[in-house]
Structure 1
Amino acid sequence: MTAPHESHDNRPADRDGGRPAHHRRVRSFVRREGRLTTGQQRALDELWPRFGLDPAPDAGMLDLAAVFGREAPVTLEIGFGDGDSLAEQAAAAPDRDFIGTEVHRPGVGHLLGEIERRGLTNLRVSDRDAVELLEAHFAPASLDTVQVYFPDPWHKKRHHKRRLIQPGFVRALAGWIRPGGWLHLATDWADYAEHMQEVMAGATEWFAPDGPVPRPERPAWRPETKFERRGLQRGHAVADLVYRRTEAPAPAE
């Protein structure tokens, strides 16, 4: 497997009432602004026009080859946090293209600065909700990989329904990942890892495990993240769960 994110705030908003589970509106984030440093604000002002991915609502499907100026496998990271690990991935895999979505503006500004500092040409940044961006602007099977690293665990039991990794969400993702493509999840919360496995076990029409799940150690293509280090310091075990897209999604009911 070639290199297939990090976030502390991958939070789905409330679902639309009355819809079947796989039709309910899901959102990947609750928007949080945070305080910008001078450097992050400069990056947003000066670098967003070059590296920001913000298509107009009526722009239709993105031509990813035109966005990057070439044909290459595309990885989408949902909720990249400060973006350091995503920038490291892009630097280590110049033959691949990367898109990161994050609504926390300091993180967006930080990643833009890293793109400039590292001289990256294969990374674009969005501050949009990932589900809305995908639904409006990504063609079916246009992605090679989706990665969701350390999403908000919503560790209280009454909040589990707010977790990003839910049956409807992974079913929707299947439509945008090419056959044979990848979904890579990582968490340092044991009960969330179990939840992820339960959700994915019910999604075998679209994702099938490749190798042991969770993996016995961090895959070489995933850099260690800030939130991962914090979890390890607290004695948490990190679980990497990697799945492969093998079938076309079933028709919507």
Structure 2
Amino acid sequence: MSPQSQTPSRLFPDGGPAADPAGDHFERRIRSFQPRRSRVTAGQADAIRRLWSTWGFDVDGQRVLDLDALFGAVPVVLEIGFGMGETTARMAAADPGTGVLAVDVHTPGQGNLLALAEREGLANVRVANGDAVILMREMLAPASLAGLRVYFPDPWPKKRHHKRRLVQPEFLDLAATRMAPGAVLHCATDWEPYAEQMLAVLDEHGAFENTAPGGGFAERPAHRPLTRFEGQGLDKGHVVRDLLFRRK
């Protein structure tokens, strides 16, 4: 059986990202994501086998994380949904004094980010597997985050699926409790209707203020790298929107 076709349990019998780490401990709500666990390459699987016990953990919701123990006494930013991890690794390398807690359910991406972190010597990256809402609500202390990044979340374009979008008022309620005053929520999307929804709910939320001069969308800041995927979209005429809102 090729590495691409093996399941996580077969690939990582001695520990690794679990298929459903929170199990039945929490409510079965509508989720903003769908687990994607196929096509794990040999290199990604090797990185998970060797590095998961040190740099990775499952989001089981059973404990509050000690971020100082994970990262040292540095500010910590949560990144929700990191894809294959290239942007995460580049931003972590450019800012070694900030811890990056990156959460996703994509096993190949988890392996790829671990491999990138090892190759680049990124001691400030930790990889979480599971539901970001459970991570924030059950495993992060109030006001513990120096920033929150949501880059190119699933837009759920069909109207009947809009309720699955991550950036909603209830998500912002939770995020506001976990972000320290002055922390910045940075969202980016190339799906214009979702961008407009994000802007509307953020503008209406009392805990956040828009950092863009005059309001509206922000220019892409220099610290967010242009990804290959994003560049391909721009070449096709896609419009990418950045939103930067500060926790009051």
TM-score of the aligned structures, taking structure 2 as reference length: 0.84
Deviation at 1:26, TM superposition (A): 5.7
Q: Determine if contact 1:76/1:100 at 8 Å carries over to the other structure.
A: yes
Deviation at 1:77, TM superposition (A): 0.4
- What residue identity is the alignment partner of 2:65? L
Aligned-partner SS, 2:233: helix
Alpha-carbon distance change, 102 to 139 in structure 1, aligned in 2, over 3 angstroms = same
Deviation at 1:116, TM superposition (A): 0.6
Deviation at 1:159, TM superposition (A): 2.1
Deviation at 1:34, TM superposition (A): 1.8
Aligned to 1:35: 39
Aligned to 1:65: 68
Alpha-carbon distance change, 25 to 168 in structure 1, aligned in 2, over 3 angstroms = farther
**More displaced stretch, 29-38 vs 178-187:** 29-38
Q: Determine if contact 2:101/2:128 at 8 Å carries over to the other structure.
A: yes
Measure the CA separation in 2 of the matches of 1:26 and 1:201: 24
Deviation at 1:29, TM superposition (A): 2.2
Aligned-partner SS, 1:126: strand
Q: 1:168-247, aligned counterparts within 5 Å?
A: 168-203=170-205, 205-212=206-213, 213-215=216-218, 217-246=219-248
- What residue identity is the alignment partner of 2:94? A
Measure the CA separation in 1 of the matches of 2:174 and 2:125: 24
Q: Determine if contact 2:32/2:165 at 8 Å carries over to the other structure.
A: no
Deviation at 1:56, TM superposition (A): 5.4
- What residue identity is the alignment partner of 1:51? W
Deviation at 1:53, TM superposition (A): 2.8
Aligned-partner SS, 2:58: coil
**More displaced stretch, 231-240 vs 73-82:** 231-240
Deviation at 1:225, TM superposition (A): 2.1
Aligned residues: 220
Deviations, residues 45-87 of structure 1 (Å, cap 9, x unaligned): 11111110336543x211101111x211101100000000000
TM-score of the aligned structures, taking structure 1 as reference length: 0.82
Aligned to 1:151: 153
Alpha-carbon distance change, 168 to 186 in structure 1, aligned in 2, over 3 angstroms = same
Deviation at 1:92, TM superposition (A): 0.3
Measure the CA separation in 2 of the matches of 1:149 and 1:63: 25
Aligned-partner SS, 1:175: helix
Alpha-carbon distance change, 125 to 153 in structure 1, aligned in 2, over 3 angstroms = same
- What residue identity is the alignment partner of 2:212? G
Aligned to 1:46: 50
* Identity percentage of aligned residues: 50
Q: Determine if contact 1:141/1:176 at 8 Å carries over to the other structure.
A: yes
Higher relative contact order (CA 8 A, sep 6+): 1
Q: Determine if contact 1:51/1:123 at 8 Å carries over to the other structure.
A: yes
Aligned to 2:21: none
Aligned to 2:22: none
**RMSD of aligned residue pairs (Cα, Å):** 1.7
Q: Determine if contact 1:28/1:129 at 8 Å carries over to the other structure.
A: no
Aligned-partner SS, 1:121: coil
Measure the CA separation in 2 of the matches of 1:46 and 1:194: 42
Structure 1: 5+ residue runs without aligned partners?
A: 1-22, 247-253
Deviation at 1:234, TM superposition (A): 2.4
Aligned to 1:20: none
- What residue identity is the alignment partner of 2:141? A
Aligned to 1:75: 77
Q: 1:121-132, aligned counterparts within 5 Å?
A: 121-132=123-134
Structure 2: 5+ residue runs without aligned partners?
A: 1-26
